[in-house]
Structures are given as C-alpha cells and as structure tokens.
Amino acid sequence: MQHLYNFRMSELEQWFSTLGQPKFRAKQVFEWLYQKRVSSIDEMTNLPKALRQQLKEASALTTSRELTHQVSKVDGTVKFLLGWPDHVTVETVLMPHDYGNSVCVSTQVGCKMGCTFCASTLGGMIRQMTAGEMVEQLLYSQRMLDEKEQRVSSVVLMGSGEPMDNFDEAMKFIDIINDPNGLNIGQRHITISTVGLVPGIIRLADDGRPITLAVSLHAANDELRSSMMPVNKAYPIAKLMDACRYYVEKTGRRISFEYALVGGKNDSLEHARQLARVLKGLPSHVNLIPVNYVPERNYTRTGQDEIQAFLEELRRLGVNATIRREMGHDISAACGQLRAEHAGLV
Ligand code: SAH
C-alpha cells in the first residue's frame, strides 16, 4: 500500500507514470490532498472512475486516528495525540499566536537522545515517523483551523524525536508542505530543532533550503552540557559551534539557540556569561525557556526574578535573547507527557 501523503509531487508523478497515468493527474491529486483536503479518494471527482478505483486498491490517505485532544483554556493551544495501526502514538501541538498559527510536529516515536530533562526520551526511540505521518499531524491541525477559515502559518519540528536523526524524512516532509500546489507553507516559516547532531547541521548548511535552524544548547560548558545531554560527549560544544559557524557562513542565516533554565543547574549569572562567550560573534538569537516540569524527572524551575536577571546579563553582554512565552501550560505541559500519560490507550 502506498501512503499518498508520503509523496513529493515529483514522486507522485513518477508513481503515476508507472500506473500509466499522465503527469497532470499528480497535480490534481496533490490539490485534492492539500488544498481541498478531502478525506477519501472517492471525493477526487475530476479523476476518471477507473483511476479512483486503482488508487483505492493501491494507496491510503489518513493512516492515523486521534486518540485524545486537549484545548488550553488560557491561550487556546491544542494538543492532540495520534495513534497508528502498529500501536505507536505521537503528540502534536497547535499554537495560536497574534501573528498566526504554528504547529509543533513530532519526527520520531520517542527519542534516543537521552536528555535528562525531557519526557520524550523516557522509553527510548520506538521508530521513525515517515514524512507522510508528519504530514498527517499537520493536516489534522489545518482541518481544525479550516473551521475558523485560518491556516497554519508556521511549522516547528520540535515535538518528540530528533529530526536530524531522521533527516531524509524530515526534509521530505518540508518539501511536501512547502509545495505551492499543496499547503504552500514558506520555508522561512519552518524551523528544525536539533539536539546538536553536527553531521546534520553540516548537511543542512550544504543543502540550501532556507529554513530556520534551532539548536538546543541548554548549557555552555562541556561538563554541564554532557550531564544534561549525552549527545554532548559525541559532539562537544567546540565542535557544535564550528558546525554552527559553518552553517551561518553557508546560509547567511542566524541560528536560534534554545536554553531551558533548570533551577540551580544552568541558571546562574556565571552560566549566562559562559553562554555569551560561546555565542560571541555568531549571528544568533537565544530563547530562554523556563523548564517544563516532568514528573519522572527530578528538578526545579528557575524563579521569575532569576530568569529576568539571566536575560539581562545576556543582553548586557550583547546577546540577542528573549524569554519564550509558555503555551498551554494547563494541558500536560512538557513534550512527551501526553503520550506518557496515555501509554495504555492503543
Ligand atoms: N530533538 C530536538 C527537537 C525536539 S525537543 C531538540 O532537541 O531540539 C524540542 C525542545 O524542547 C528542545 O529544545 C528540548 O531541549 C526542549 N525540551 C525538552 N524537554 C523540555 C522540558 N522539560 N522543558 C523545557 N524544554 C524542554
């Protein structure tokens, strides 16, 4: 069975040619899938009946079903959990902002990176998400917005999983949602977030897609970072920063750095100064994130005053930084939590 959401348009054209179909049929199908967002092949009424029959036998549209759905009373954030026939689940978050709607997509079921503060990695990595499964996460979000005549304006690959550990599928997903015959989401409105896998950063730099790169740094000295993020042992800060400088040179784009503040761990003014030193000369933006509480993890959050002091110290040293607004904190705060809570659902 072919998964129709798993094709770039060029790939759909190729597949159609093996079915003896002309190229323009692929464009028609793409429009049905992404512009009209039909839920069955029968609704693709400008295709000949015989082709519809052929497609019904050889391919599928949506392969997941929605298991839970929560809406924040505070800010309208929607968090939902999708389940697939092989009993895996991932969560997706739709966030309404004043500037538009952003969707946070999961790229793997679980994660193998082992960051000590993260819920997604607790059970390890179960399997990769295909591009088509990522597309489904986005289409659920877009269908919710269709009721309000709104569209997804930006996408972040920041749900569960490490997108650079699923590089090809992540890029395919980006190509599919970016296609002007489909959802037409601009590449500049797509952000890929990485734990800091250096080969992936270099590949992205060489690749030329003008998407935004976010790097989860969380600590600016190796000892501390390795204690929070095992990946730092393979790609320590100096190597990571070399890759980041290469990325900036190649693309001319600045990099976002994520820094989750964990009480008493990485949140002192000295840590802020270390961060400023590491980022010196690099076009960057730092997002300070008050760490989300994960019941299985043992740590505290940094107080508001200390967060503010950390921010001011960074700014004093010339670092471009803001505190990330928390969304949906009344609905299963941290990444991976919804999935962990509903482990028995499928
Ligand atoms: N693997 C990728 C993308 C998924 S994680 C990455 O590491 O960037 C998305 C972001 O959420 C990362 O910055 C991650 O470090 C952060 N994160 C994970 N657990 C968190 C928690 N409990 N509180 C705040 N941020 C967290």
Q: Could you tell me the domains of the chain?
A: 2-60 (1.10.150.530), 65-343 (3.20.20.70)
Q: Which mutation among 112, 117, 164 tests ligand 1's pocket best, with the greatest number of atoms within 8 A of CB?
A: 117
- The structure tokens listed for 147 are 């009721």
Nearest atom in ligand 1 to the alpha carbon of residue 258 is 13
pLDDT attached to residue 296: 73
Report the chain (346 residues): mean pLDDT per 10 consecutive residues.
97 96 96 97 97 96 96 93 97 93 97 94 96 98 96 97 98 98 96 98 96 98 98 98 98 97 96 98 96 80 95 98 85 61 53
* Interatomic CA distance for residues 162 and 125, integer angstroms: 10
pLDDT attached to residue 346: 40
Backbone angles phi, psi at 64, to 5 degrees: -110, 170
Q: In sequence order, what E strands does 36-130 have?
A: 59-60, 65-71, 78-83, 89-97, 100-104, 108-110, 125-128
Nearest residue by C-alpha to atom 11 in ligand 1: 158
DSSP 262: B
pLDDT attached to residue 326: 78
| Options 91, 136, 162, 169, the catalytic residue | 91
* Interatomic CA distance for residues 16 and 319, integer angstroms: 51
* Interatomic CA distance for residues 325 and 103, integer angstroms: 15
Q: Which residues line the pocket of ligand 1, CB cutoff 6 A?
A: 115, 117-118, 158, 162, 193-195, 216, 258, 260, 289, 291-292, 294, 334-335
pLDDT attached to residue 340: 63
CA of 329 to the centre of ligand 1 (A): 15
CA of 203 to the centre of ligand 1 (A): 21
Q: Closest Cα to residue 118, out of 289, 240, 311, 274?
A: 289
Helices (H), the chain: 9-18, 24-34, 49-58, 131-146, 167-178, 198-207, 222-228, 231-234, 237-251, 269-279, 304-316, 337-341
* Interatomic CA distance for residues 149 and 101, integer angstroms: 12
| Options 104, 111, 244, 335, the catalytic residue | 335
pLDDT attached to residue 342: 63
Whether residue 198 contacts residue 239, with contact meaning beta carbons closer than 8 Å, is answered with yes
91 is known as an active-site residue: yes
Nearest residue by C-alpha to atom 15 in ligand 1: 216
Q: Closest Cα to residue 201, out of 213, 217, 183, 186?
A: 213
Instruction: Please say whether the dihedral angle defined by the alpha carbons of residues 166, 88, 333 and 300, taken in this order, is positive or negative.
Output: negative
pLDDT attached to residue 163: 98
Nearest residue by C-alpha to atom 13 in ligand 1: 216
162 is known as an active-site residue: no
pLDDT attached to residue 228: 97
Instruction: Please say whether the dihedral angle defined by the alpha carbons of residues 82, 188, 166 and 130, taken in this order, is positive or negative.
Output: positive
